[in-house]
Amino acid sequence: MLKKILIMASGNGSNFENIVKKLENQVDIELFTENKSAYVIQRAEKLKVKTHIIDFKSFSRDEYDDELYNFLKKQTPELIVLAGYMKILSPKIVDNFKIINIHPSLLPAFPGINSIKKAYDYGVKITGVTVHWVDRVVDTGKIIEQKSVKIENSTTFQKLEKKIHEIEHEIYPCVLKKLLGL
């Protein structure tokens, strides 16, 4: 029987699609989103991936956390993979499931949102991508893997953003294969 992972995404879903294509037939993948209008849902339909939606806007925060926790308990994934999931997970969820995240900076630098822009505007000469375990604080979990990108003086923000996404698509499936013993 294939190991099951649940990918949680809130938006476009390019990392989701990349993971599905790279791990196809090696693991059972399902999608979860809290955003019923997220483009990732269309990607999942095209890839024939089972999708679960709990509309965040239909609940209070505490109710949503309870719904999500109960859903995850029933799913029993080997690993939860955050791929552009834009909600902070409750301590109850973080403490009871194995969860990893990908972040577009070399953590601990530039945690939170808009990390590529923050690194670019700050003028750093090296940035990159981090895959880490999720803990109770945003982007502070134990680092699993990192890959750096050198920023040349001629690098535009758009070129940097493209390079970061290319590295995300390279590194995330490799980390998943290692963690799942594939």
Domains of the chain: 1-97 (3.40.50.170), 102-168 (3.40.50.170)
Burial call 143-178: b when 16+ CB within 10 Å, e when fewer = ebbbeebebeeeeeeeebeebbbebbbebbbebbee
In single-letter form, the type of residue at position 94 comes to V
pLDDT per residue as tens digits for the range 35-93: 999 999 999 999 999 999 999 999 999 999 999 999 999 999 999 999 999 999 999 99
Structure pTM? Answer: 0.95
User: How large a percentage of the chain has pLDDT more than 90?
Assistant: 98
Q: Residues 52, 103, 165, 169: which is the catalytic one?
A: 103
pLDDT in the model for residue 1: 79
Residue 103 bears catalytic tag: yes
User: How large a percentage of the chain has pLDDT more than 70?
Assistant: 100
